[in-house]
Amino acid sequence: MIKYRKYFLLINLLTKFKNEFKSLLQIGLPIFGSQVSYVFMGTTDTLVAGRASSTDLAGLAIGSAITHPIWLLIAGITFAITPIVAQLYGAKEFNKIGYKLGEVVWISIFLGSLFLLIYPNLYLLVNLLQLDPEVAKISGEYLKALSVGMFAITIFTCLRCYSEGMTLAKPVFYIAFGGMLLNIPLDLMFVYGWFGAPKLGGVGCGYATTIVSFVMMIALILYIAKSKYYEKTKPFQKLPFPSRSTLTEIFKLGFPIGLGIFIELAMFSGAALIISPLGKEIVAGHAIAMNIASFFFVISLSIGLAAATRVGNLIGAKRMLDARFASISSIVLCTMIAFINTVIILTFKDQLSAMFSTEDAVVLIVMTGKETINYNGAQIGAIGALRGYKDTFAPMIITLLVYWFMAVPFGYFLTFYGFSEPLGASGMWIAMIAGLSVFAVLISMRVQWISNKFSKVIN
């Protein structure tokens, strides 16, 4: 009997995982579609600029390495909207959601306006780097071209988080997919000078991104205002200036999210900057390797974002034990996906490398770099679950300690010194893998602790 009892307990556990995976995927698949669309925009930029020249690609790579961390540090504050809305939605407090949206729109407008001041002047930072003069020029002009687009994408992100917090991820996917398709002809026009447009090389990708960002922002505003799916929250009926309590809540939750993402991406961007003196082929190869990694990693990321909504909904509904199981399930599912991704990348690394560049030196760097790429999917599932609990400060501290006090210094040492000889770019990739692995263990332990804490309180 004991033997059969264990068997039935195992079957019951597997069934629970299956059902929870299904719930996560229902939210996560449309988010995955959106995230793939965003990544494809970057992939299109890389492909088009890479086939223009390695100089254009290197300029784009350095510009992107600076762009994303700075944007996420500031606009990442709006990511707090997802767990706030998710918990209110789970508690069925729909009127509060609409009022809260009105407040956070003002916050996102303020944050977006900062980019109109920051990005046109980032060329000063680029000029401090030891870059090829032509690469530095392309990077600086690319950043200027992005300034207005970063304002628009900040507003879009605010509305995206509001929609996804209510499990309405499909509308965001449709708009993001349309933006991705629009980005293709715009890149070709502005990079190569097709259809009478000016030939701008890698800088053209910045102008294409700005146009796409505005189109997506306007499309999402109109859809939310007109769609019946948002009626119960009464969006845009009131646009109250944010109260002190809302400002405190948004910045208390959102600033650690933005700073945490900034720290993580800054590690990858810092890696690109650290290896930049090794030559433009190395920089271009690193950019392609990271782009390929990002494309596959976005699958786990989508489940992590879905976990923030799913866990937040369950907490709002006071189902703390279910929220704990959903957290564990997100970690397990992300880890499974990450393992499959690794197998695919290692199997098709040659074909993937050749897609992004026609220059043999660059392709060789990509192939070498991808052999060191691994995935720790547990971390992204854990981070998403913690956001659902509105636990954002501790993950930020863990990120800072692991990435910048361990991975980056260790990577610099391996790249230029090594234990017996310098490892070059491979040293940086090895150090990043080590940092990701340590972080995955620590952040999973945090999920166990915080979910147990919530379960005990409710019981």
Distance (Å, whole) CA 314 – CA 316:
5
Q: Is the pLDDT of residue 252 over 60?
A: yes
Q: Three-class SS of residue 237?
A: coil
The pTM of the full predicted model, rounded to 2 decimals, is: 0.82
Percent composition of the chain: helix, strand, coil (DSSP 3-state, to 5): 85, 0, 15
Give, in order, the Cα–Cα distances in Å from 260 to each of 103, 263, 402. 24, 5, 11
Give the pLDDT confidence of 33-48 residue by residue, as tens digits: 998 898 888 888 888 8
Distance (Å, whole) CA 450 – CA 456:
10
Tell me the torsion sign for CA atoms 123, 124, 129, 130. positive
Tell me the average pLDDT across 333-341.
85
Q: Is the pLDDT of residue 163 over 90?
A: yes
Q: Is the pLDDT of residue 3 over 70?
A: no
3-state secondary structure 434-450: HHHHHHHHHHHHHHHHH
The residue behind tokens 């916050």 is 107
Q: Is the pLDDT of residue 83 over 90?
A: yes
* Range from 156-165, 183-192, 277-286, 330-339 carrying the lowest mean pLDDT: 277-286
CA neighbours closer than 13 Å in the CB half-sphere of residue 54: 18
